[in-house]
Amino acid sequence: MGRHSRILAAIGLSLALVTGPALAQQSGGTLVQVTVPEPPNLASYLSTSGPIGQVAAKVYEGLIDVGDGLTLKPSLAESWTVSEDGKTITFKLREGVTWHDGKPFTSADVQYGIMNVLREVHPRGGATLKVIEAVETPDDYTAVFKLSEPAPYLMISLNGYESPIVAKHLFEGTDPRENPTANAPVGTGPFKFVEWQKGQFVRLDKNENYWQEGKPYLDRVVVRFIADASTRTAAIENGEVHFGAFGAIPNIDVPRLGEMPEIDVTTKGYEYVAPIMQLQFNVTKAPFDNPLVRKAIATALDRQFVIDNIWFGFGKPATGPIHSAFEPSGIFTTDGVESFEVDDRIAKANAMLDEAGLPRDADGIRFRMIHDLTPYGEEWRRFGEYVKQVLAELGIAAELRYEDVATWLKRVYTDYDYEMSSNWLYGLPDPVLGVHRQYHSNQIRPGTVFVNGTKWSSPETDALMDAASVENDPKKRAELYHDFQRQIVDASPIIFMHELEFTTVHSANLKNAVMGPLGVYHSFADAYFEQ
Amino acid sequence: MSGRIAFILRRFLQAIPILLAIIIINFLLLKLAPGDAADVLAGEAGSATPEYMAELRAKFGLDKPVPVQLAQYVGRVLMLDFGYSFRHDMPVAQLVIDRLGPTLILMVTTILLAVGFGILLGLLAATGLNTWRDNVISILALVSYATPLFWVGLMLIVVFSINLGWFPTSGMETIAAFHTGWARVLDIAHHLVLPAITLSLFYLALYTRLMRASMLEQAGMDYVITARAKGLSERRITFRHVLRNALLPVVTMAGVQVSSLIGGSVIVETVFGWPGLGQLAFESLFARDLNLLMGIFFLSAVLVLIVNLIVDILYTLLDPRIELK
């Protein structure tokens, strides 16, 4: 990929030289990004919270970078080799990289950052990095990871958003949870942290000593926080803001803004998070302990209707627990996976409910239920209203319940006090990170959020996941996941609605703003304003 | 004069048990909300291990029984230590003080605009009772009172920011400019115009109607007839006698509303991206950041007590018959 883009850039450059005086990249300018909500801190080593990543990814870097198609690209590590048995990974680190405070970056930082910070305090680090038994540092620019077992998912999670490398000299001897860099990060990235006026903005200035020659092109990045959606739209329309991602500009305004010549819209840059919108059941509660009932509801819902009418056309029908972004790696399949896309939805679903032994009473009602709505915005409310109408056609009387985030999380992931809830989870760049947590029986962990909230437990799918997490042969691994997709959809503890598409809205003269699957979780090293 | 100082001192002493009660009631009320800060932090992170959640709760002190948490909190507050916001990784005192400035700028401007123009318009309406002047003012007051704040704010943005381009849409300062000195003051004032107008329109309507009613009520009093009988000019009656008496209810109302302004400005702060306390409180409630929320409540309570004291002193200036005891 890297070579391709270089060739393309070369072609572009020569075309530019032939056709006009415009140069490919122009230096200078201040980019104003709007992020919502304001992050509580900038400690991306402590939290994977989206707003934190949107800002911190400009300052921190990882050992690797993620390229198109979820491929690995060098970053702080120039190159790496994986041993035959998959249990030793040797990284050759880049020389001449300095921290923003001027100290040199060495293998000691990698060792300390991985073993003492990320493995200890990162919310996913305990799970993802636990296979790393030791990081050896034979010299300043070599880091050797010793793993307890092969971990095919490990490499991609070493990117700057997921596993930012922090400076040993600033963390050594302190509690990483109370490190002052939480509000004033010091990294190796293209932009240096300057100041944070809480409630207003974060200012990041160009790192003059950045290791990528000539980059970044921008002089400054300012991240603003505007709580009101309509005001954010007004600010980008007015040119006060140049860039907003992850629904910062509400979908309802996006088509209109997209038609303006000075504004561009893209749905690229979300392949890394690969979110799927779902309806999940508490599979221990009757009648939802019966797969036939769950599948009847899955059959009745019209996914394309939901995308077109509630999500303003942004989305793609989902077919199973694994996002179609995994198609290039061969993990994703629809082959042999049951499809709920049928013509006479309501009739089929009613027949299934009859078969399940749930007759209608005198009022035409089979049973009553409560549908909990995930509290992440207006669309989910409207989706709940749609589901309620469809369920009524099936003879199911549903009541909608909408609570705030903390209450809802506790209900679903601590008390399991629900029957059916809408929800959406990131697929993340490997199923071990993003998918297993929802289905493995060892992920039924009261009090821990976004894990197995359905209480689904099956020795067969557990075995498939266990095997896939240590299988280093990509082909065999893909087959394990194909089986997994068939079994999960056949049981449908979760109804897969659609793959959410987020939009990034930016000024048309801002180029290279979205680079690769990390999108806004990437630095603006390549971004520039075309004058 | 010494009576006044004694009065102020006594009020300060009375404030201590009141504040203590506010702290305890707030703390218990907040504890009634389901879910805690660890849930929210992990929820935002998208995933977390159980060990991580347990560690978070232990670190926030959420693993202890509620009475112990309360006792520890009150103990700390008595030492003027408002604790640490784990969410922001910053001491609460610093977070709150950073936001106090912008809140006060918006609050004071709004109160001055609303009370000043409210009194003026109410006076104009009352003195021209049932004329076109009175009708126009009354209708305008009714309309602006009945219009939702967020809508007024957004419409002002559409007209004055997007279409006319006179004012910025949001924020307190021009971000990329980093002005200093007088340039900064002017810049902030420029950003202040729309939010202050939006917020004061609502209160302006209230004071206009209150002032008008109060003026009309006073105009029917015996002392006005007496004044007229002894041959004073209408002008002198209005300004010397009626106005002073009519102001009392308005001042009372303003005192009460300063407190609600801190909370009521959440909407305006949100629409205009103004970095005030209301927004911070709003976010912390949903994040279950109790330390921070309690800090904000404490500060609001102190502000309310101070404003009430000022109002009581203002009474004596407006009406010398009222004594401070």
Cβ separation of B39 and A234 shorter than 8 Å?
no
What one-character DSSP code corresponds to residue A104?
Answer: B
Question: How far is the CA of A431 from the CAs of A64, A246, A457, A485, in angstroms?
Answer: 19, 22, 17, 11
- Whether A341 and A362 share a structural domain: yes
A226 interaction partners in chain B (CB closer than 8 Å): 170-171, 273
* Alpha carbons B76 and B80: distance in angstroms, whole number: 6
Query: Which of B169, B198, B266, B284 to mutate to test binding with chain A, by most A CBs within 10 Å of its CB?
Result: B169
pLDDT for A1 equals 39
Cβ–Cβ < 8 Å for A258, A503: no
Q: Which of B69, B91, B113 is the endpoint of a domain?
A: B91
Q: How confident is the model at residue A14 (pLDDT cuts 50, 70, 90)?
A: very low
Cβ separation of A450 and B43 shorter than 8 Å?
yes
Q: Tell me whether residue A182 is in a domain.
A: no
Cβ separation of B279 and A405 shorter than 8 Å?
no
* Alpha carbons B157 and B170: distance in angstroms, whole number: 9
User: Is the per-residue pLDDT at A457 higher than 90?
Assistant: yes
Q: Tell me whether residue A176 is in a domain.
A: no
Tell me the per-residue pLDDT of B165-183, one tens digit each, with 9 for 90 and over.
898 888 888 776 677 788 8
Q: How many CB atoms lie within 10 A of CB A312?
A: 17
- Whether B23 and B9 share a structural domain: yes
- Whether B83 and B110 share a structural domain: no
- Whether B135 and B278 share a structural domain: yes
- pTM here is 0.80
Cβ separation of B46 and A450 shorter than 8 Å?
yes
- Whether A481 and A410 share a structural domain: yes
Q: Tell me whether residue B198 is in a domain.
A: yes
Tell me the per-residue pLDDT of A103-134, one tens digit each, with 9 for 90 and over.
999 999 999 999 999 988 887 887 789 899 99
Q: Tell me whether residue A33 is in a domain.
A: yes
Q: Tell me whether residue A157 is in a domain.
A: yes
B49 interaction partners in chain A (CB closer than 8 Å): 123-124, 126-127, 448
Tell me the per-residue pLDDT of A260-318, one tens digit each, with 9 for 90 and over.
999 999 999 998 988 999 999 999 998 999 999 999 999 999 999 999 999 988 999 99
- Whether B74 and B141 share a structural domain: no
- Contacting residues for A84 by C-beta, under 8 A, at least 6 apart: none
Cβ–Cβ < 8 Å for A276, A424: yes
Cβ separation of B176 and A37 shorter than 8 Å?
no
- Whether B179 and B235 share a structural domain: yes
A410 interaction partners in chain B (CB closer than 8 Å): 34-35, 39
- Whether B113 and B262 share a structural domain: yes
| A377 interfacial to chain B (CB closer than 8 Å) | no
- Whether A221 and A127 share a structural domain: no
Q: How far is B163 from chain A (nearest CA, A)?
A: 9
- Whether A47 and A79 share a structural domain: no
Cβ separation of B47 and A450 shorter than 8 Å?
yes
**Helix or strand run (H / E) with residue A193:** strand A191-197
B59 interaction partners in chain A (CB closer than 8 Å): 177
Cβ separation of A123 and B173 shorter than 8 Å?
no
- Whether A265 and A279 share a structural domain: no
Give the chain A residue whose CA is nearest to the CA of B284. Answer: A40
Tell me the per-residue pLDDT of A146-198, one tens digit each, with 9 for 90 and over.
999 999 889 999 999 999 999 999 999 988 888 889 999 999 999 999 999 88
**What secondary structure does DSSP assign to B222-281, as a single string?**
HHHHHHHHTT--HHHIIIIIIHHHHHHHHHHHHHHHHHHHHHHTHHHHHHHT---HHHHH
pLDDT for B285 equals 83
- Contacting residues for A139 by C-beta, under 8 A, at least 6 apart: A107
Query: Which of A161, A200, A246, A403 to mutate to test binding with chain B, by most B CBs within 10 Å of its CB?
Result: A200
pLDDT for A169 equals 96
Q: What is the mean pLDDT of residues A334-359?
A: 93
- Whether B122 and B255 share a structural domain: yes
Q: Which of B57, B72, B91 is the endpoint of a domain?
A: B91
Q: How far is A258 from chain B (nearest CA, A)?
A: 17
Q: Tell me whether residue B325 is in a domain.
A: no
pLDDT for A11 equals 43
Structural domains in chain A (count): 3
- Whether B307 and B256 share a structural domain: yes
Cβ-nearest to B50 among A410, A445, A450: A445
Cis before A37 (ω within 30): yes
- Whether B87 and B104 share a structural domain: no
User: Is the per-residue pLDDT at A2 higher than 60?
Assistant: no
* Alpha carbons B110 and B192: distance in angstroms, whole number: 10
Cβ separation of A225 and B50 shorter than 8 Å?
no
**Helix or strand run (H / E) with residue A231:** helix A229-237
pLDDT for B263 equals 58
Cβ separation of B172 and A200 shorter than 8 Å?
yes
Cβ separation of B45 and A37 shorter than 8 Å?
no
Q: Tell me whether residue A179 is in a domain.
A: no
Q: Tell me whether residue A454 is in a domain.
A: yes
| A228 interfacial to chain B (CB closer than 8 Å) | yes
Cβ separation of B273 and A178 shorter than 8 Å?
no
B34 interaction partners in chain A (CB closer than 8 Å): 406-407, 410-411
pLDDT for A9 equals 44
Tell me the per-residue pLDDT of A25-44, one tens digit each, with 9 for 90 and over.
788 899 999 998 888 889 99
Q: Domain containing B121 — which CATH number?
A: 1.10.3720.10
A515-529: b (≥16 Cβ within 10 Å) or e: bbbbbbbbbbbbbbb
User: Distance between alpha carbon B59 and the CA centroid of its chain, in Å?
Assistant: 34
Q: Tell me whether residue A181 is in a domain.
A: no
pLDDT for A491 equals 94
pLDDT for A5 equals 44
Structural domains in chain B (count): 2
User: Is the per-residue pLDDT at B271 higher than 90?
Assistant: no
User: Is the per-residue pLDDT at A75 higher than 90?
Assistant: yes
Alpha helices, DSSP H, located in A356-492: 378-393, 405-413, 431-434, 436-439, 459-470, 474-491
Cβ separation of B44 and A32 shorter than 8 Å?
no
Q: Whole domain around residue B122: which residue ranges?
A: 96-318
Cβ-nearest to A238 among B40, B162, B288: B162
Give the chain A residue whose CA is nearest to the CA of B59. Answer: A177
Cβ-nearest to B280 among A177, A199, A406: A199
Cβ separation of A40 and B173 shorter than 8 Å?
no
B283 interaction partners in chain A (CB closer than 8 Å): 37-38
Tell me the per-residue pLDDT of A367-416, one tens digit each, with 9 for 90 and over.
999 999 998 878 899 999 999 999 999 999 999 999 888 888 889 988 99
Cβ separation of A409 and B43 shorter than 8 Å?
yes
- Whether A408 and A313 share a structural domain: yes
Q: How confident is the model at residue A12 (pLDDT cuts 50, 70, 90)?
A: very low
| A411 interfacial to chain B (CB closer than 8 Å) | yes
Cβ–Cβ < 8 Å for B171, A200: yes
Cβ separation of B34 and A126 shorter than 8 Å?
no
- Whether A128 and A162 share a structural domain: yes
Q: Report how far apart the first and last C-alpha atoms of chain B are (Å, whole number).
A: 12
User: Is the per-residue pLDDT at A16 higher than 70?
Assistant: no
Q: Tell me whether residue B63 is in a domain.
A: yes
Cβ-nearest to A200 among B44, B95, B275: B275
What does the CA dihedral A427, A86, A91, A67 come to, rounded to 10 degrees?
-30
Give the chain B residue whose CA is nearest to the CA of A236. Answer: B169
For chain A, the average pLDDT equals: 90
Give the chain A residue whose CA is nearest to the CA of B84. Answer: A178
Cβ separation of B39 and A409 shorter than 8 Å?
yes
Q: How far is B76 from chain A (nearest CA, A)?
A: 20
Q: What is the mean pLDDT of residues B210-222?
A: 88
Q: Any idea which of A35-44, A74-83, A457-466 has the lowest mean pLDDT?
A: A35-44
pLDDT for B238 equals 84
pLDDT for A454 equals 95
Q: Whole domain around residue A475: which residue ranges?
A: 275-500
Q: How far is A410 from chain B (nearest CA, A)?
A: 6
Burial of B321 (0-12, 13-18, 19+ CB in 10 A): exposed
Q: Tell me whether residue A362 is in a domain.
A: yes
- Whether A53 and A199 share a structural domain: yes
pLDDT for B246 equals 87
B271 interaction partners in chain A (CB closer than 8 Å): 228, 230-231
Q: Which of A106, A136, A171 is the endpoint of a domain?
A: A171
B276 interaction partners in chain A (CB closer than 8 Å): 199
ipTM of the complex: 0.71
Q: What is the mean pLDDT of residues B290-315?
A: 85
- Whether A338 and A414 share a structural domain: yes
Q: Report how far apart the first and last C-alpha atoms of chain A are (Å, whole number).
A: 28
- Whether A240 and A332 share a structural domain: no
User: Is the per-residue pLDDT at B153 higher than 70?
Assistant: yes
Q: How confident is the model at residue A4 (pLDDT cuts 50, 70, 90)?
A: very low
Q: Which of B67, B91, B115 is the endpoint of a domain?
A: B91
- The better pLDDT of the pair A400, A446 is held by A400
Percent of chain A with pLDDT over 70: 95
Q: What is the mean pLDDT of residues A202-220?
A: 94
Q: Tell me whether residue B324 is in a domain.
A: no
Cβ separation of B87 and A41 shorter than 8 Å?
yes
A449 interaction partners in chain B (CB closer than 8 Å): 39, 42-43, 47-48, 53
Q: Domain containing A409 — which CATH number?
A: 3.10.105.10
- Whether B166 and B258 share a structural domain: yes
pLDDT for B264 equals 54
Q: Tell me whether residue B73 is in a domain.
A: yes
| A198 interfacial to chain B (CB closer than 8 Å) | yes
Cβ separation of B279 and A199 shorter than 8 Å?
yes
- Whether B116 and B255 share a structural domain: yes
